[in-house]
Every structure is written in C-alpha cells, then in structure tokens.
Structure 1
Amino acid sequence: MAMDVRDHRLVPEHRKMSEEEVEDLLEKFDIEKKNLPRIKSNDSALKQKDFEVGDVFEITRSSPTAGETTYYRRVVE
C-alpha cells in the first residue's frame, strides 16, 4: 500500500489564498505575482486540492528556531 505523501509529518500545510489575500501580499512586498517562487501543478502536496495555474498557496512550516515560518508559491504548469 502506497503512502499518501500529504499525510507525512514533514510535508507542511498548503493553503490556497484568496485573490484579496494575494493582492495584499503583493502590495506588502511591493512585487508582482510573476515574482513569487513557483510550485509545479503536479507537486504531490497539491494532490486533491482545488486550484488552477496562477493560484497562490501559503505554506506554513514548523521551524525549530522560529517556531513557524510562512512561504508563498505560485502554481505553474
């Protein structure tokens, strides 16, 4: 039986951001959406998530030094 990688303890939480949240993020960092780091649409962490190419995900990771860190990724083909 194959394990679902999304259930592994080392795979961080991936949450699709709303358009309003994305706009706030881009304004906060004074960047364009194309400047965000990318995540491939076939990434295992995105399986069974409702998304389209161009959507932005907020990724929350545990950190032994910072407690919790947040990353942002734009979905690409």
Structure 2
Amino acid sequence: MSERKYSLLNHELIPKHEIMSEEELKLVLKSYNIGKEQLPKIKVEDPVIKEIGAQAGEVVRITRNSQTAGEAFYYRLVIA
C-alpha cells in the first residue's frame, strides 16, 4: 500500500476530528448521564481515526458545521 500524500482532514466534506482528554470526556459523560460504552462507536480502521492516531478505548469529538446551531458536536468511542 502506498503512503498517502494528502490529509483527509483537509477535505471540505470531512469534519474536524480530535481525541478527547479524560477531563473533557468526564464532563461530556456527566452532562449526558451516560457511560463511555453507551457512546456510538467508530472503528480503529476508519481512515480518519488512523490519520489522527486514535487508539481503541479513546473517544473522538467530531465537530460539524450546522446551519441551525453553528457547530454541532458528536462523540464516538474508538473500537478495535
């Protein structure tokens, strides 16, 4: 497989993905009154997850532009 020469994150249709810190995650889980395992999942093999270097067990915050809310946040638990 050849090395990718461009970043997926620079494409206009790919929203911002970032690995959350434990402190940020605690606040989000508390605000939604849920456990980490209750979050929607995303596979570690996902191309964007590979690019940002997220590992199984980490949580990724996805920031999408919204016409009504400005920015909308989505959270995904990275799984193997």
Q: TM-score, normalised by structure 1?
A: 0.86
> Share of identical aligned residues, percent?
42
Does structure 2 retain, via aligned residues, the 8 Å contact 1:58–1:71?
A: yes
Aligned to 2:76: 73
Alignment of 1:1-77 (within 5 A): 4-77=7-80
SS at match of 2:26: helix
Does structure 2 retain, via aligned residues, the 8 Å contact 1:41–1:76?
A: yes
Between Structure 1 and Structure 2, how many residues are aligned? Answer: 77
Q: State the alpha-carbon separation in 2 of the partners of residues 53 and 47 from structure 1.
A: 11
Unmatched 5+ stretches in structure 2 = none
Out of 62-71 and 13-22, give the one that drifted further: 62-71
Q: TM-score, normalised by structure 2?
A: 0.83
Q: Deviations over 1:24-68 (max 9, x none)?
A: 111111101000001110111123323220100110001223221
Letter in 2 for 1:49: I
Does structure 2 retain, via aligned residues, the 8 Å contact 1:6–1:44?
A: no
Unmatched 5+ stretches in structure 1 = none
Runs of 4+ in 1 over 4 A off after TM superposition: 1-4
Q: State the alpha-carbon separation in 2 of the partners of residues 66 and 21 from structure 1.
A: 21
